[in-house]
Structure 1
C-alpha cells in the first residue's frame, strides 16, 4: 500500500525536489526561511499539520513534525538539513545552480544531492505512513534542521541542547553513494573532525637587506614545516572495522607575507583531521605537539605554534551505531525489497549532524543513507538520481514500518 501510494506521486515528489533546489539556502550567509516556507507549504498539502518551527534565531528555522503511532514504542527520527554550501564559482556549472534541470535520469542543481532530495523523500515517506494509516508501535519524528553546513549551532546543536530534542534512534539522509551506485553504502560510523592552524614566525624586514642581515622568511620556513609534518606526523588511533585510519589534510588553506619588498614575518596553514572512534582531542594535541617538538629540535631558530579552532571546529567527535541495531536490519531489508540488493556497511568519510544528535542528545544516529553521491556534494554540477529519490522515500517508509512494528519484510 505504501509503495503504491508513493509510486502514484513520483512526479509530484520530483517537482517538490525541484522547488527546494530552486529556493536558495546557501550557508554562508545562512538563512533557511525561504526554503522552510516551501517545506511547510508542501507538508500542509500532504496532510502533515501540527508542525512545529523552532529557532535559536528567526532566520535559522528548524522544522519538527511528530507522526504518533497507535501504540507506544520507540521514537524514530528521520532527519535532513535544509541548508547547502555556497555556489562557489558559478562559471564551473553547466546549468544554473538554482534552476533544476533533469537530464540523463538525474536532477541537477545546488543541494540536490546534499541533501534536498533526501529531505523531500523523508517528507513523502512520513506522509505515506500517515495517509495509508499504517499501524505503528512508536512515533516517527521528522526533523528538517538548519545550519549543518557550517557551525551546527542553529540546527542540531540547538535542537540537542536548548530545544531538548529526544528520540530512540535517528537516520540522516546524507548521500550514501561515493562514485559507485547511489545507496552503495549504509554508513554506520560518522568520522569526527578537528581543525587547527600551524603558525610559523619569521623576521619581517625590508627584503633588500636579507643578504646583509640575519633573516628568516616565514613563508619558506612554513613550506619546510608543512613538508616535514606530512612525512613525520603519526597519530594515535585504533583501526576500525569500517574505517582503517583517520584522514589528515594538512595545508587546506595557506596564508603568509605582506607583498613585494617585505620579508615575510608570519605565515600559517590551516588543517583538518577526520577522526575515528576512540580518538580524543587531548591525544591528538599531544601527537601534533610531539611532531612540532621534533621539528623545533631540527631547527632551533624556528618559532612554530599550534592553535586549535574555536568550538565546535576544534573537536567534533566521531559517532557510530552498532550493526546489530534493529534499525540497521530494517534498512537493509527495505533496501533489498526496493533495490534488490543490500548496501555495504561502511563509514561516512566526513562529519555530520550525528556529532550533535548522538554525542550531545544521546540519540544513536545512523549518519548516512540517502540518494545522491557524496563525491558530487560541495562542487559544481551537483545532481541526484531521479529514481533514487523515489527509492529513498520507499525505503524510508518501509524501514520505519518495520522498525516500529517489529515485523520483517
Structure 2
C-alpha cells in the first residue's frame, strides 16, 4: 500500500507538469523586485495558490509596508513532525535595459525552457513546493504531522524582514526539518553555507594641490594600504569540522562541473571581494576622503568575531582609517548525516537515476535563519541559467524533477515511523 501510494505520487507529479508550469508562470508574471523589497502583489498571487490547496490555512505578515510574507499550514491525519518548505517571493530587479529577448514577466515557454525574472531564483522552486503540498493534501490520511510553507519576502536583502521575522514571531514557522527550494541544482543536496560579513572601510586625509603632494595626506593611499590588510583576512587560520571538509572533497567531482572549477577551494577558505571604491574629486587634487565596501565570505570553522578582531588590530593602528561591519551572518551547516539530508539525497538519486553530490553552498539562502533555530535544513532547487541577467530561465524537465523530489521527501519524512 505504501509503495503503491508513493509510486502514485511520483506519477501525479509527472501528470501535473502543465499545472506546475502554469503555477510558475503566475508567480513570474508579477514583479517582486528587491530593491525595493516589494512582495505585496506577488504575495496575493501566492496566497491564492495556497488557499486552493484543500485543508490549507494561510497567515499573512507585513512587518514593513509592502514587505509581505505568508505562512501556510496543512495538517496530516495524526500528530507528528512538522516539515517546512521555505521559499522567498522577492527577486532581483527586472533590469529591463538588459538585452532581454523575451518579456521579463512573460513566462515564455520555448524548447523545454521557461523564461522570466526570478524563475530560477526562486519562483520555480516555490512552485515545486506548492505542488508537493497540493498532492500530499489529497492523501492526508497517509501521513502524520504537518506541512508548513513559509513564503518570505526580503531574502535578497538578507531576510531580516522575511524569514528572520517569521522565525522570531511565528512559532510554527520552525519545525523538525526544512527543505528550501532555492536556486542550485537537483544534482546537489546543499547542507550548509558560508557566512558573510560586509564591511565599509573609510580613510581621510588633508588637502593639497597634486603638484604639492608633500603638503597634503592622500586618503586614497591610506585606503589602499587598509585594503591590502583587508585582503590578508584570506590567510587567517581556522579549523573546519572534518565532516564538512570531507563532504566538500567527496562532492567535488559532481559539484564543480555544475558550479565552476575552484568551488571546493572557495568553500574551504575566507574570501574577500572588494566591490566598490570611491574617492577624490580631481586628478590634480590630493583626495581628502576615500571609502570602499567589501563582501567577506567565511567558511565553517571561522567566525565574524575573529575577523572583526583582526580588522580592529590591523586597521585600528592606521592613521585616518576606520571600518565598520554593515552586515554579519555566521556560517552554518546541518550535519550531512541528519535524516533530512539523507532522505533528500536518496530521493534525488532515485528520481535522477544517479547519486547526487552532498555539499556546502557558496552563496547564502534563507536556510541560514533556520539552522541557528535548531532546524535541520537542506537546499535543493533548480539550476540557474542567466540568474539576475537577461533571459533568466529554467529547464522544465528539472522543474518536474525538483517537484518530484520535494513531494517524495516530504511523504517519506512524514510517513516514517517514529
Task: Identify the TM-score tier after normalising by the shorter chain.
Answer: 0.7 to 0.9
Contact 2:195 / 2:329 at 8 angstroms: preserved in 1? yes
Aligned partner of 1:210 among 206, 209, 212: 212
After TM superposition, the score normalised by the length of structure 1 is 0.87
Contact 2:277 / 2:293 at 8 angstroms: preserved in 1? yes
Unaligned runs of 5+ residues in structure 2 are 1-7, 249-263
1:279: Cα distance to partner?
Answer: 2.0
Name segments (4+ residues, structure 1) moved above 4 Å: none
Contact 2:196 / 2:298 at 8 angstroms: preserved in 1? yes
SS in 2 for 1:274: strand
Aligned to 2:299: 276
Aligned to 2:238: 237
Question: Is residue 256 from structure 1 mapped to residue 279 from structure 2 by the alignment?
Answer: yes
Deviations 1:167-212 (A, max 9, x none): 11111111123xxxxx23111012111111111222234x35535x
Does 396-405 or 38-47 show the bigger shift?
38-47
Q: In 2 relative to 1, CA 216–96 (structure 1 residues): closer, same or farther, beyond 3 Å?
A: farther
After TM superposition, the score normalised by the length of structure 2 is 0.85
SS in 1 for 2:142: coil
CA distance in 1 between partners of 2:155 and 2:111 (Å): 29
Aligned to 2:252: none
Question: Is residue 288 from structure 1 mapped to residue 311 from structure 2 by the alignment?
Answer: yes
CA distance in 2 between partners of 1:236 and 1:377 (Å): 33
Question: Is residue 401 from structure 1 mapped to residue 411 from structure 2 by the alignment?
Answer: yes
Describe how 1:56-95 pairs up with structure 2 within 5 A: 56-88=63-95, 90-95=97-102
SS in 2 for 1:358: helix
Contact 2:34 / 2:154 at 8 angstroms: preserved in 1? yes
Does 236-245 or 324-333 show the bigger shift?
236-245
Deviations 1:57-94 (A, max 9, x none): 35222211122122222111011100011134622433
Q: In 2 relative to 1, CA 365–20 (structure 1 residues): closer, same or farther, beyond 3 Å?
A: same
SS in 1 for 2:300: coil
Unaligned runs of 5+ residues in structure 1 are 178-182, 297-301
Aligned partner of 1:113 among 115, 120, 123: 120
Q: What's the Cα RMSD here?
A: 2.3
Aligned partner of 2:175 among 167, 179, 186: 167
Q: In 2 relative to 1, CA 18–48 (structure 1 residues): closer, same or farther, beyond 3 Å?
A: farther
SS in 2 for 1:269: strand
Aligned partner of 1:154 among 147, 158, 161: 161
CA distance in 2 between partners of 1:232 and 1:30 (Å): 32
Does 268-277 or 100-109 show the bigger shift?
100-109
CA distance in 2 between partners of 1:246 and 1:209 (Å): 43
